[in-house]
Amino acid sequence: MAKKKGLTKDRLIWMYTQMVRIREFESRVKRTFVEHPGVIRGHTHLGDGAEATIVGALATRQDNDLAMPSYRCHGYPLVLGTPPRKMMAEIYGRKDGLCGGFGGSMHLADPEHHFPGTSGIIGQAITHATGAALTAQVKDTGQVIYCFFGDGATKQGAFFESLNLAAVWKLPIVYILENNYYQAYTHVSLEDANYIAGDPLSKKAQAFSIPGVTVDGTDPLKVYATVQKAVERARSEKGPSLIEAKFHRLSAHGNAITVPPVPTQFPEHEAVEVYGKKAEFAAAIKNDPIPKFRASLLRKKILTKEDAQRIEEKARAEMEDAVQFALASPLPADTEALKHVYA
């Protein structure tokens, strides 16, 4: 394994804490569909399973660096310091949300915490993040841009155009390809769906003569070590890298509810629902990054069981508070409906 530079005991505990906070936040989003039907309108997409990749990558950040993911975006701002209250209120469409309730789950934005914003357009994060990296270079801010996107996004023209320009201009950006094996309901492999060519996907970096590495995205320390190298390269003006982190998402592609709400039955996962691959999904659950990291920290005596429980209880209380805050926040007034419409 590559050198784990700068990972003190406190830092490792911080990493575990962030992973637990993300999982707890998202479990509360999911529970909302059942406990408060109709409160979340529209789609949400959970990133459970991605925590090791998100936290491993963002643990290498310096203060002003930006994180720009796709629409599966709840985990990143939690790590950057965005208050969960404001995130939950946004997902509930409430006035006290990050965007005044206008954005919802797929459009979280918190520039104050280095999170410029997300959208539901696949591949969008790649062009926007590449633009942000150009700004950082032109203004000489010293920032590195962390750009996250899915396996499905790598077949968009935007992917090739952006990587080309980033390589030509040596932009300070790290492209983190989250290969969760599925593009919505379609499996990534040639045998199953024949929608994406190239294996491993990190090989696409060769076309631009930039480093391309595939890493176990369920191991935050491996992700950390790999991203760290890419960040050093970006910060020393040598240009971009492509890192493919592999992990399964542990929920279905998305959750949505109709208005007025009807009783919701959540799909399990496309591996089971569409492909009947029960063994694949069972293996993914067994390989859940959070219990795995917990066990390794206990084994190395970085955490005691009591420490771990305290972290988990604190996350539960924090996210319960976020839910209560969001439920108490009013919907935006009707008179605000046209506020952000320009034409």
Return the closest-CA partner of residue 112 out of 72, 144, 82.
82
Q: Which of 79, 122, 245, 252 binds ligand TPP (CB under 6 A)?
A: 122
Q: Site mask, ligand TPP, residues 60-99, x = CB under 6 A?
A: ------------x---------------------------
Structure tokens belonging to residue 141: 């801010």
244 binds Mg ion (CB under 5 A): no
Please tell me whether residue 126 adopts helix, strand or coil conformation.
helix
Name which of 144, 145, 149, 70 is nearest 108 in CA terms: 70
Specify whether the CB–CB gap between 74 and 87 falls below 8 A: yes
With CB under 5 A as the contact rule, the residue among 151, 219, 244, 270 that binds Mg ion is: 151
Q: Which of residues 13-32 bind ligand TPP (CB under 6 A)?
A: none
Can you name the residues that pair with 182 across neighbouring β-strands? 187
- Using the rule CB under 6 A, is 184 a contact of ligand TPP? yes
Residue 200 backbone class (left: φ over 0; alpha: ψ -120 to 50; beta: rest) = beta
Closer residue to ligand TPP, CB minimum distance, 151 or 318:
151
Contact flag: residue 251 with ligand TPP (CB under 6 A): no
Distance CA 319, CA 316 (A): 5
Q: Is 120 in the site for ligand TPP (CB under 6 A)?
A: yes
Smallest gap from residue 45 Cβ to ligand TPP (A): 6
Q: How far is the CB of 268 from Mg ion (least distance, A)?
A: 17
For the chain, how big is the Rg over CA atoms in Å?
20
Stretch that binds ligand TPP, among 26-34, 115-123, 240-248, 314-322 (CB under 6 A): 115-123
Which CA distances in Å does 181 have to 127, 190, 245? 22, 11, 11
Tell me the two tokens of residue 314: 């604190």
Applying the rule CB under 5 A, the residues between 167 and 196 that interact with Mg ion are: 180, 182-183
Query: Which positions touch ligand TPP (CB under 6 A)?
Result: 72, 120-123, 150-153, 180, 182-184
